[in-house]
Amino acid sequence: MAYSWFKAFHLVGIVVWFAGLFYLVRLFIYHVEANEEPEPARTILKKQYQVMEQRLYSIITTPGMLVTVAMAIGLLTTEPQVLKEPWLHVKLLFVVLLIGYHHYCKRLMKQLAEDQCAWGSQQLRALNEAPTVMLVVIVLLAVFKNNLPTDITAWGIVGLVIAMAATIQLYAKKRRRDKEAALSQQS
């Protein structure tokens, strides 16, 4: 029975953590793009994004990460033999990378607050794809374990994920060009 409780709250933690990570970097993008706005809008927007980023990180994202990790430890205590499985070692590697990403977001948040962030909105959009890739890998490992499919269907799904990421990037590029064109027409 403990296993089911740990698993249920592990999944809840994952959903909360990833929701926070996805939205946090989106706020970073808006924060950086606020620099293009005239005063006083620039200052007002940057202050608002800073508050939103801090609250999201502290109240949603970090607790989601802590619940995820705590429940994972609970799961491992109920089934310690799974620690010998190679798929879990790879999954844990990606979880460690994800935790590193989480803390790197905190660093970017501090840089944005101090107007020291060197990242542009396009770079942040690309950075925002990292947790998606990690989520896909982690879920596939959790579901398929040591039997991760490598057939044409699996590669098709990988291709779809890559195509989705490329489409998002192309759309962002188009929006940026349209905005630049509109600004040049106003001049």
Q: Which positions make up the binding site?
A: 10, 91
Q: Which of 94, 157, 158, 171 is nearest to 125 (CA)?
A: 171
Phi-psi region of 72 (alpha: psi -120 to 50; beta: other; left: phi over 0): alpha
Sequence ranges of the binding site for heme: 10, 91
Q: Which residue has the tokens 């107007």?
A: 115
- 10 Å CB burial of residue 99 (0-12, 13-18, 19+) is middle
